[in-house]
C-alpha cells in the first residue's frame, strides 16, 4: 500500500498539506509569465514598472527582452465625440446601431497583453485521434503528457461549421486548411482580413490575406491562422471601423510592434472594434489581427483558470 505524504494526526496533516501546496505554488510561480504593469492613457505610459515580478521559466529576471512571456495591463480613457462616426460596411461585419454616436466619456477599458517569444508558440486544432480539442483543458493535458509546461493558451482564428477553421490553418509546417479568399458576411469577411504566421526561423508576421497570397510560401511557415478583420494595418487603424459603434463584445487578437515583438491580447470588458484597434495602435502595434469575439479566452498560468463556456477550434499555446 502506498504511504501518504501526510501520514499524521488531523491537526498536523493540515499543516503538512499547506506545506505541500506551498511547494507546488512556488513551482507554478517559477513557470509563470512575468507580470508587468504598464498603464497607458492617450498613448502615453503614465505608470510603468514591475508590480508582481515572477521568475520567467528558463530566463534571467534581469532581462525580459527574450523572456518566454510577460504580462501587461493596457488601460486607456476613451472619449466619444458627438458626430465622429467612422466608416462601416453594413452587412459585412459590425457597425453601430443606426450610426449612433454620443458625447459621453466611456468607461476605462483594460486589455491584458502577453508579450510572447515566438519560438515557444505552437498552434493546435486536432488531437492524436484527429478530433478537435475544442477546449483548453484537453490540450493542456496533452502538452503536459508530452513533457511541456503550458504558460499561455488562447483561441486562434474564427471558425466555421463542423469545427473547421474558417480559413488558412498551418501547424507544425503542415497546411490543414487552405487560404479563404471568398467574400461573405461576418467579421471574418470584413476587409481586409488577414493571416498571423510564424515562419521556420521563428519570425512572426501579420499580413493581409492579399499580401499573403503575393509574398508568402507555405513551405517556409511553421504555423498560421487566418481570421478577420485586420485591426491595425501598417500603423493605421482599419478604416472600416465605426468610432462609436455600440457593438460591444469581449475580444482577442494578436499584434506585432515596430520592434517585432509579438503580443497575445484580450479585453477585460466588452469593447467595439474601433476602440480595440485604437488601444493596440497606441501601444505600438504596427499590425494587428482580430481573432474572435464573445467566446474569447486568454489563459495565463497562475493568473486565471482554464474554464470557458464555448468550444474553440484553433488554439495557440505558449510552452516551455
Q: Indicate the number of domains in the chain.
A: 1
- Give tens-digit pLDDT for 3-60: 433 444 555 444 443 333 333 333 333 357 988 865 443 444 333 332 233 333 333 3
Q: What is the pLDDT of residue 187?
A: 86
Tell me whether residue 4 is in a domain.
Answer: no
As a dihedral over the C-alpha atoms of residue 286, residue 233, residue 267, residue 38, rounded to 10 degrees, the angle is 20
Tell me whether residue 231 is in a domain.
Answer: yes
120, 319 Cβ separation under 8 angstroms = yes
Q: What is the pLDDT of residue 48?
A: 33
- Give tens-digit pLDDT for 86-105: 333 323 455 433 334 333 43
Q: What is the pLDDT of residue 66?
A: 62
Classify burial at 246, counting beta carbons within 10 Å of its beta carbon; exposed 0-12, middle 13-18, buried 19 or more.
middle
- Return d(Cα 312, Cα 315) in angstroms, integer: 7
Tell me whether residue 9 is in a domain.
Answer: no
Residues of the chain with pLDDT under 50: 1-8, 12-30, 39-65, 80-92, 95-106
Domain that holds residue 140: 34-319
- Kindly give the pairing relationship between strand 34-41 and strand 69-76: parallel
- Give tens-digit pLDDT for 255-266: 999 999 999 999
Q: What is the pLDDT of residue 43?
A: 40
Take residue 33 and report the three cell numbers written for it. Answer: 509569465
β-sheet bridge partners, residue 153: 299, 317
Q: How far is CA 265 from CA 102, 178, 186, 248, in A?
A: 27, 25, 21, 16
Q: How far is CA 313 from CA 10, 160, 167, 201, in A?
A: 46, 9, 11, 25
Tell me whether residue 22 is in a domain.
Answer: no
Q: Chain-wide mean pLDDT for the chain?
A: 78
Amino acid at each position: 500500500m502506498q504511504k501518504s505524504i501526510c501520514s499524521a494526526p488531523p491537526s498536523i496533516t493540515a499543516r503538512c498539506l499547506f506545506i505541500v501546496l506551498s511547494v507546488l505554488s512556488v513551482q507554478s510561480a517559477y513557470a509563470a509569465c512575468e507580470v508587468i504593469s504598464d498603464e497607458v492613457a492617450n498613448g502615453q505610459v503614465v505608470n510603468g514598472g514591475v508590480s508582481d515580478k515572477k521568475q520567467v521559466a528558463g530566463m534571467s529576471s534581469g532581462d525580459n527582452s527574450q523572456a518566454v512571456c510577460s504580462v501587461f495591463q493596457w488601460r486607456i480613457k476613451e472619449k466619444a465625440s458627438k458626430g465622429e462616426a467612422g466608416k462601416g460596411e453594413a452587412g459585412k461585419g459590425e457597425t453601430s446601431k443606426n450610426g449612433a454616436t454620443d458625447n459621453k466619456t466611456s468607461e476605462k477599458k483594460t486589455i491584458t497583453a502577453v508579450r510572447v517569444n515566438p519560438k515557444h508558440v505552437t498552434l493546435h486544432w486536432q488531437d492524436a485521434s484527429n478530433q478537435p480539442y475544442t477546449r483548453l483543458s484537453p490540450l493542456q493535458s496533452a502538452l503536459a503528457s508530452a513533457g511541456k509546461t503550458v504558460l499561455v493558451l488562447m483561441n486562434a482564428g474564427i471558425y466555421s461549421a463542423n469545427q473547421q477553421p474558417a480559413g488558412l490553418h498551418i501547424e507544425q509546417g503542415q497546411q490543414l486548411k487552405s487560404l479563404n479568399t471568398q467574400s461573405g458576411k461576418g467579421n471574418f469577411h470584413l476587409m481586409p482580413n488577414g493571416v498571423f504566421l510564424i515562419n521556420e526561423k521563428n519570425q512572426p508576421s501579420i499580413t493581409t490575406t492579399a499580401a499573403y497570397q503575393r509574398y508568402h510560401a507555405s513551405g517556409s511557415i511553421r504555423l498560421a491562422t487566418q481570421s478577420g478583420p485586420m485591426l491595425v494595418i501598417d500603423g493605421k487603424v482599419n478604416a472600416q471601423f465605426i468610432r462609436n459603434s455600440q457593438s460591444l463584445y469581449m475580444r482577442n487578437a494578436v499584434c506585432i510592434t515596430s520592434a517585432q515583438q509579438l503580443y497575445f491580447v484580450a479585453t477585460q470588458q466588452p469593447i467595439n472594434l474601433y476602440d480595440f484597434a485604437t488601444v493596440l495602435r497606441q501601444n505600438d502595434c504596427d499590425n494587428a489581427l482580430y481573432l474572435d469575439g464573445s467566446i474569447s479566452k486568454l489563459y495565463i498560468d497562475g493568473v486565471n483558470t482554464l474554464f470557458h463556456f464555448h468550444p474553440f477550434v484553433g488554439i495557440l499555446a505558449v510552452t516551455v
